[in-house]
A and B are shown apart, each in its own frame.
Chain A
Amino acid sequence: MSQYYDIDDILADDELVPAVFQVAANGVGLFDSSDEMNKVEQGSKVELPFWLARELHLRQAVSINLPPCFNQKTRDELVADAAHVDLKNRCPYFYELGCKLFSLVGDKTIALLLLAAFQTRYKEVLIKAQTAAMTVAPKFLTLLTKEETKLYEAAQSSMSAFKKWRMGGPRFQRASVLGRKRRPSD
């Protein structure tokens, strides 16, 4: 598993997904704290973090539904104008979560949705990264998911490093630790 140590992967796993318990479970009343008894009834809906939901799904204890960020409202917005949908607010790990959910939930349209959304937004990221206008950037950045932000930063950093180099400046710089001589305290 190449992403075992990837921080973003771990954080993506932490997103909540709604799940329906297929069996009654004892000792996990934390999920459904409506009554005093320490158990969860069959058929009750809870929100679980994805890593837990996946394991329980493999043991056939829950069935996973789509989280609210994939609902019809978001889909309509993406169809209308993908570039300006605030994905970060809904789910900062939109694409990763979608890929993981794909095999677990019986909904085949996620892949198309993700792809179409990404294609449109990617173009926007590209254009914005190249123009690098300082005024426009902050408003746009708040709409991007983690993945898209990384993409944007990759483009930005290399471009700005190049510009900085082009400005000139000394070719050799004294390391800052060599700066002032401190009098030895005695």
Chain B
Amino acid sequence: MAAQSDPQGSEFSAAELEFLAEDEMIEIVPNMRMESLNLISGDFGPFHPQISTQVPLWLAMALKKRGKCTIRPPEWMLVEKLMQVLEAERDSQKSFQPLPFHYVEISRLLFDHARDDIPDIYMVRSLIEDIKDVRFYKIGTGLEVISQRTTALKLNHLTAMEVNIVRPFLVKALQTFNKLDNPEIHKS
């Protein structure tokens, strides 16, 4: 964690989260032939042209940069699915929709490197932005209700980036409430 040297920093940096997100599996369609790769994290391949395989995202990015594959976008990244998720997010006031844990990072990586592999990329991009904004707004309203009686906070289906952003603020707020609450016990 790059912020360890700073005692107040208790979160990952965004780039570190992106690095962690690259371990997620994604489907690619190679356009070359290669025998299987035996890596520490697993065995991938063998790669045959036009036959899709599951590889980690970092490997997919590397192959894509060398022009050796095309990436198939994951199922949650289709326009209809995202529209459903957006509708559901807007309808429910308190709960979040289940989304892949690293959807922000994965979508950004794919937009940067695999632009031509995603159909309707502008639509997808704006939908993901909207989903992100709605979720952040919901987090804000959820955080407003904590008071001195709150011992723990539960937010379902929160994704990695959102958790990372909220973490320092939330921890400090809960600490302060706890500190102000202690004299109450001695009061009576």
Residue ranges of A at the interface with B (Cβ–Cβ < 8 Å): 95, 99, 102-103, 108, 110-111, 114-115, 118-119, 122-123, 126-127, 129-130, 147, 150-151, 154-155, 157-159, 161-162, 164-166, 168, 171
Name the contact of B144 in the complex, choosing from A118, A123, A164, A171 (C-beta under 8 A). A123
Determine the main DSSP class of A at the interface with B: helix
Interface range for B? 20 to 34
Across the interface, do B172 and A154 meet the contact criterion of CB distance under 8 Å? yes
A130 CA to B182 CA in the complex, in Å? 28
Chain A contacts of B13 at CB under 8 A?
161, 165
Pick the residue among B8, B14, B184 that contacts A162 (CB under 8 A). B14
Contact indicator B165/A162 (Cβ below 8 Å): yes
CA distance A161 to B167 in the complex (A): 13
Q: Does B15 contact A (CB under 8 A)?
A: yes
Of the candidates B8, B11, B184, which one forms a contact with A111 in the assembled complex, judged by CB atoms under 8 Å apart?
B184
> Measured between alpha carbons, how far is A119 from B173 in the docked complex, in Å?
10
| Contact of A114 with B169 in the complex, beta carbons under 8 Å | no
Known contacts A103-B186, A118-B177; is-contact A161 B14 (Cβ 8 Å):
yes
Name B141-187 residues within 8 Å CB distance of A: 143-144, 147-148, 161, 164-169, 172-173, 176-177, 179-184, 186-187
| Residues of chain A lying within 8 A (CB to CB) of residue B187 | 108, 111
Q: Which residues of A contact B173 (CB under 8 A)?
A: 122, 126, 151
Contact check, A147 vs B176: say whether CB atoms are below 8 A apart.
Answer: yes
Among B18, B112, B165, B182, the residue within 8 A (CB) of A158 is B165
Complex CA distance for A129 and B180, rounded to whole angstroms = 22
